[in-house]
Structure formats: structure tokens, C-alpha cells
Amino acid sequence: MRPFAYEQAGDSSAALRMTANRGASAQYLAGGTNLLDLMKIGVAKPVALVDIGPLRADHASISVDADGLHLGALVRMAEAAEHPDVLRDYPVIAQSLQLAASQQLRNMATLGGNVLQRTRCNYFRDPSWHACNKRDPGTGCAAMDGVNRRLAVLGTSAHCIAHYPGDFANALAALGAEVTLLSPEGTTRRILFEELHRLPGDTPHQETNLHPGELILGFHVPAGPWTRRSLYLKIRDRESYDFAQASAAVALAVVDGTIQQARIGLGGVATKPWRSHAAEAVLQGQRLDEALAHAAAEAAFRDAVTHGENAFKPELGRRTLMRALLQAATMEIQPNA
């Protein structure tokens, strides 16, 4: 690891001030499970770490009210995964966290850090490879014709096909969540979570629309008649403790067998947390059966582009979404209050 300065921020305004003072390459340290990993392997090289652990005092609450689910940025993954209200009213959120990483990591990692985790593309994580536009802009992309079995088929560009590896963020995107941000000037703004991450385009090194030094304070998942009939289905190379090869976050509002509204997120297959409005449109107002689930899955992957090793992904993604939809339709639930 390269040398860096370390400061602990007592609250959010101290965190903003410390980061501003240290300049562009200062970074917030939350659970550290992604950032310290990337520093050890020589990919992240911050000059300073501002430890935001103490912000737990103000930004680690979990609450459910008529407005929806409110999650502080410093909530640990395990806390949200096991919260009884989240399990009952937002099972897709709880499952997306419970099926991620390991219990040790879930005890350390925060929700704010989780959504900002970087891709697991092998070339990005190994600086001995020269070509990686995301790590070193303008150097090319070694993955295009290389080892790309895990990489994305949706939202790719000619410059980068790296997958967004997280799970929770796909559930947030599906449910139309918002994220609250605090700017270095001290003003807060709320944006749609779906707009936090960017497509790679020709600037794959710019992954989010966060302003420099901006701090994530928390997430709001709006209430809706679909949240209880929701689940996260994750398909992995090994049965536990692995990133998704394909995953589906689905939430359905069903009345008398007809889907009033559907919310669909996809993971492991796209370059950013992915919401499939196309699949949602196919489902809306219809009765769910295998043919309809298939049509929705077709719509979700219509624009998929593969690169050799990852040619299996659209089919795996379609089957994952189909199974998730059919499973959600048969869930035994208490109707939303």
C-alpha cells in the first residue's frame, strides 16, 4: 500500500471539510472492504483517508413508515439484511444483502460503500495489465477479447464491458429508490438511485454522477403495493459467497391474478445497477404465466451484446428472471398495509 494520511471525522460536516482540505484524491473510508482491498492491490491510491465510521451516530438508522423504507448510509449490510421490518415489507432488499459476500464482510461493510463498490473485472484489478480504460483512461480494454466470463452484456460500450458486481443496488434501482447526497458546500440533494451510476460510454473511469467530495447520507425506498411480493434470485458459480453471474430483483403488485405493476432489476449482467423498464412494460396489466415471463425476459435482454466467453449470459439472465417472476407470483404474503 502507498502511504496515506488518516483522519477520523466526527460528523458529516467534519468529513466534508477534511476531504476538501486534502484535495482530489482523498477518499472516504467506511467499512473499508472494497477500498482497502483496492489499495492493497495497487488500484486505488488515495493520498488521504477520511474515516467516516463515527457518522454511524447520525446515519445508521433503519425505519419503515408510510413513505417507505429509510436506510442510513452507515447501516451495515448485516443490520439491514436481518431487520424484521425490512424482511417483512422489503424482502428483495433484505435478500439482496443476505446473499452478498460473507457474514464477516456484511458485519463490516456499509450500504453507502456497498453501492460504490468497483467492478471485479480481472484486468481492472491487476495493474500488471496495461490495457484498462477504467483504471487508466485511454489504454484500451484487455477484456474485450480476453477473460470476460463475468463481464456485462447490457449497457456496454466499445471502451469497457465491466460488470457492476453488487447486489443491493439492483434492488434499489428496481424499486425506484432515491439517494440523499451532501455536497461539500453543505447542501443536500436527492436523486433517483438509478441516476447515481453512469454507463461506461467513452469515459468508463467516471462511474457515478457524484460531485467530488460528495457524501452519501442515505437511501429512501418508496412504499408501494409491490414491495412485499418481492424477492432477489442470485445465480452464482458456487452456491454461497460469490458474486452473481446473473441475478434478478423482482417486485409485483398482483390483484386477482393480474399484475398491476412490476418492478424489475438485474444484476451480474450489466455495467451499472440495472432496472429493466422494458420487462416491466411487458408484464403490466397481464396475468403471469410461463409465456409472459418468457416474453418479459426476452424484452429485458433484447439489446444484449456478448463478447465470446460471456455468450452464455443472456440465456442465463433470461432464465434467472423467468424463475424469479414465477417464484414471486406464488409467494405467500400478507397484502401491503
Ligand X SMILES: Cc1cc2nc3c(=O)[nH]c(=O)nc-3n(C[C@H](O)[C@H](O)[C@H](O)COP(=O)(O)OP(=O)(O)OC[C@H]3O[C@@H](n4cnc5c(N)ncnc54)[C@H](O)[C@@H]3O)c2cc1C
- How does strand 230-235 pair with strand 5-8? unpaired
Binding to another protein (CB under 8 A) within 24-43 occurs at 29, 31-33, 36-37, 40-41
Task: With beta carbons less than 8 A apart as the criterion, state whether 191 and 115 touch.
Answer: no
Q: How far is the CB of 79 from ligand SF4 (least distance, A)?
A: 31
Closest C-alpha among 55, 53, 34 to residue 43: 34
By CB under 6 A, tell whether 142 contacts ligand SF4.
Answer: yes
By CB under 8 A, tell whether 235 contacts another protein.
Answer: no
By CB under 6 A, tell whether 112 contacts ligand X.
Answer: yes
By CB under 6 A, tell whether 229 contacts ligand SF4.
Answer: no
Closest C-alpha among 296, 303, 321, 328 to residue 155: 303
Sequential DSSP letters for 276-311: -HHHHHHHTTSB--HHHHHHHHHHHTTT----SGGG
Phi, psi for residue 76 in degrees, rounded to 5: -80, 150
Q: Output the residue with the shortest Cβ distance to ligand X.
A: 113
By CB under 6 A, tell whether 29 contacts ligand X.
Answer: yes
| C-alpha angle 248-204-99 in degrees, rounded to nearest 5 | 25
- Select 5 or 281, whichever has its Cβ closest to another protein: 5
Please report which helix (H) or strand (E) contains residue 34, including its range: none
Q: How far is the CB of 131 from ligand SF4 (least distance, A)?
A: 7
Q: How far is the CB of 52 from another protein (least distance, A)?
A: 11
Stretch that binds ligand X, among 121-129, 163-171, 196-204, 290-298 (CB under 6 A): 163-171
Is the dihedral angle over the CA atoms 122, 174, 217, 33 positive or is it negative? negative
Binding to ligand X (CB under 6 A) within 269-288 occurs at none
- Select 44 or 282, whichever has its Cβ closest to ligand X: 44
By CB under 6 A, tell whether 123 contacts ligand SF4.
Answer: yes
Sequential DSSP letters for 166-181: -SHHHHHHHTT-EEEE
- Select 59 or 272, whichever has its Cβ closest to ligand SF4: 272
By CB under 6 A, tell whether 100 contacts ligand X.
Answer: yes
Number of residues that bind another protein (CB under 8 A): 26
| C-alpha angle 136-140-143 in degrees, rounded to nearest 5 | 105
Judged by phi (left if over 0) then psi (alpha if -120 to 50, else beta), residue 294 lies in: alpha
| CA distance to 66, 140, 165, 207, 257, per residue, from 42 (Å) | 46, 19, 19, 19, 53
By CB under 6 A, tell whether 175 contacts ligand X.
Answer: no
Among 20, 43, 51, 184, which residue interacts with another protein (rule: CB under 8 A)?
51
By CB under 8 A, tell whether 47 contacts another protein.
Answer: no
- How does strand 68-72 pair with strand 26-29? unpaired
Task: Enumerate binding residues for ligand X (CB under 6 A).
Answer: 27-35, 37, 73, 100-101, 105, 108-110, 112-114, 116-117, 166-168, 215-216, 243
Task: Enumerate binding residues for ligand SF4 (CB under 6 A).
Answer: 119, 121, 123-124, 132-135, 141-143, 151, 160-162, 204
Task: Enumerate binding residues for another protein (CB under 8 A).
Answer: 1, 3-6, 8, 29, 31-33, 36-37, 40-41, 51, 53, 78, 101-105, 107-108, 240-241
